[in-house]
Amino acid sequence: MFYDVTPQSRLLLGTAGYPSPAILQQAITASGTEIITVSLRREGEAGGAFRALLTELNLRILPNTAGCHTVKEAVTTAHMARELFNTPWIKLEVIGHADTLQPDPFALVEAARILCAEGFQVFPYTTEDLIVGEKLLEAGCRVLMPWGAPIGSGQGLRNIEGLRAMRAWFSEVPLIIDAGIGAPSQAAHAMEMGFDGVLLNTAVAKAGDPVGMARAFQLAVEAGIAARAGGLMEQRDMAVASTPLFGLANFS
Residues with active-site annotation: 91
58 is in an annotated binding site: no
Does 152 appear as a known binding residue?
yes
The string of DSSP codes covering 101-137 is: --B-HHHHHHHHHHHHHTT-EEEEEE-S-HHHHHHHH
Per-residue burial over 63-101, b if 16 or more Cβ lie within 10 Å, else e, is: bbbbebeebebbbebbeebbeebeeebbbbbbbeeeeeb
Question: Residues 6 or more apart from 241 whose CB is under 8 A from it?
Answer: none
From residue 149, alpha-carbon distances to 56, 119, 129, 186, 200 in Å are 32, 30, 13, 11, 11
Q: Is 180 one of the annotated binding-site residues?
A: yes
Residue 188 among known ligand-binding residues: no
Is 179 annotated in a binding site? The answer is yes
Summarize the annotated binding site for 1-deoxy-D-xylulose 5-phosphate as residue ranges.
152, 179-180, 201-202
